[in-house]
Amino acid sequence: MEVDDGAELCFPQLLNTSCRKSTLPQSEDVFLNSLLSISVLTVALNLLVIISVSHFRQLHTPTNILLLSLAVSDFLVGLLLMPVEILRKTSCWFLGDLMCSLYICVGYIIPSASVGNMVLISLDRYVAICDPLHYTTRITERRVKLCVCLCWFCSVFYCCLFVKYGLTQPDRYNSCYGECVIVFDHTADEIDLVMTFIFPVSLIIVLYMRVFVVAVSQARAMRSHITAVTLQCSVTLTTKKSELKAARTLGVLVVVFLLCLFPYYGVTLAGDSLLSTSSAFLVIYLFYFNSCLNPVIYAMFYPWFRKSVKLIVTLQILHPGSWEAKIL
């Protein structure tokens, strides 16, 4: 956001070192109010997902546990990243250097965890479609919970290690008091690009290309009433139609995620000059907006989510034994 030369100082007592307050046109003010509304909507929708999967016993499946982990990261995006990013880009930063560094750290942890969750979802669908006979033995609730915990732990460890210099010297990149900026060198940017974008996205694409090929083959086999079909993964028509439907639904989820992710990393690679512009702010917020789209995808494709939301909104989940309700 551009700053008017006549704008007031963030810290009037620091005449020579204070940043200036941003003055926003009326149109941008309305736009920011819309972004705040999206933030509130993101929190509310993902909270419904979290309550649904956590409360109803029928939804305690390996796939839904992965969706629960993704909903937690999306919930944190709406609760923390969206509103604070608006504050950081459009107003003075009054929270101090330490809080700035912590925000940057959290801003790396949550997206990294989201990418990790997408990789786990892709692996889950790969095993379910390509090796359905061994799915129940290989993909168990205990193993999925362990993988989710490892995903979050690795995200926290990697991101804390990645921004450690910013945490030890939080004000080294600030040109004036009242801004929150941390800049990484090219080597760190390249490492982050490989670890959180190139490698996981390539893995997601390869897995889902394989899932797509096998799913199409199985669908053709079922339409032809063939009793068995031999593929590289030795699958049979015992694969449930629900697994194919879940693969398609989660495929939509992954595609939407990637569409929102590519512009974000494109701007990140463009350099510091573009990162400070309004267009960069919009692209970053587009990536965050994906967290609001995920529950909408669930509502469109999952009847169990629509049914659970109805029970939550009508407060029927407060009734004794409501966790045993038939959702599926």
pLDDT at 206: 93
**Roughly how many angstroms between the first and final C-alpha of the chain, as a whole number?**
48
Whether 244 maps to a domain, the answer reads: yes
Per residue, the 3-state secondary structure of the chain, as one string, reads CCCCCCCCECCCCCCCCECECCCCCHHHHHHHHHHHHHHHHHHHHHHHHHHHHHHCHHHCCHHHHHHHHHHHHHHHHHHHHHHHHHHHHHCCCCCHHHHHHHHHHHHHHHHHHHHHHHHHHHHHHHHHHHCHHHHHHHCCHHHHHHHHHHHHHHHHHHHHHHCHHHHHCCCCCCCCECCCCCCCCHHHHHHHHHHHHHHHHHHHHHHHHHHHHHHHHHHHHHHCCCCECCCCCCCECCCCHHHHHHHHHHHHHHHHHHHHHHHHHHHHHHCHHHHCCHHHHHHHHHHHHHHHHHHHHHHHHCHHHHHHHHHHHCCHHHCCCHHHCCCC
The number of domains in the chain is: 1
Whether 72 maps to a domain, the answer reads: yes
pLDDT at 148: 97
Whether 52 maps to a domain, the answer reads: yes
CATH code of the domain containing 275? 1.20.1070.10
pLDDT at 317: 93
Q: How many other CB atoms are there within 10 angstroms of residue 10's CB atom?
A: 19
Let me know: does 159 contact 105? Beta carbons within 8 Å: yes
State pLDDT tens for residues 154-198.
Answer: 999 988 877 765 555 555 556 677 778 766 667 777 788 888 888
Whether 32 maps to a domain, the answer reads: yes
Q: What's the token pair of residue 187?
A: 């080597």
Which residue range(s) make up the domain with 292?
A: 28-324
State pLDDT tens for residues 124-150.
Answer: 999 988 888 889 999 999 999 999 999
Whether 13 maps to a domain, the answer reads: no
Taking the CA atoms of residue 18, residue 19, residue 21 and residue 22 in that order, the dihedral angle to the nearest 10 degrees is: 170
pLDDT at 48: 96
Residue appearing with tokens 């926290």: 156
Whether 22 maps to a domain, the answer reads: no
Whether 262 maps to a domain, the answer reads: yes
Q: What's the token pair of residue 129?
A: 């479609």
Please give the chain's pLDDT, 328 residues, in tens: 444 444 578 777 776 677 777 655 555 667 778 888 999 999 999 999 999 999 999 999 999 999 999 999 999 999 999 999 888 877 888 888 788 888 888 988 999 999 999 999 999 999 988 888 889 999 999 999 999 999 999 999 988 877 765 555 555 556 677 778 766 667 777 788 888 888 999 999 999 888 888 877 776 766 665 444 444 444 444 445 666 677 788 889 999 998 998 887 776 666 544 455 566 777 888 889 999 999 999 999 999 999 999 999 999 999 998 999 988 8
Residue appearing with tokens 């509310």: 44
Whether 65 maps to a domain, the answer reads: yes
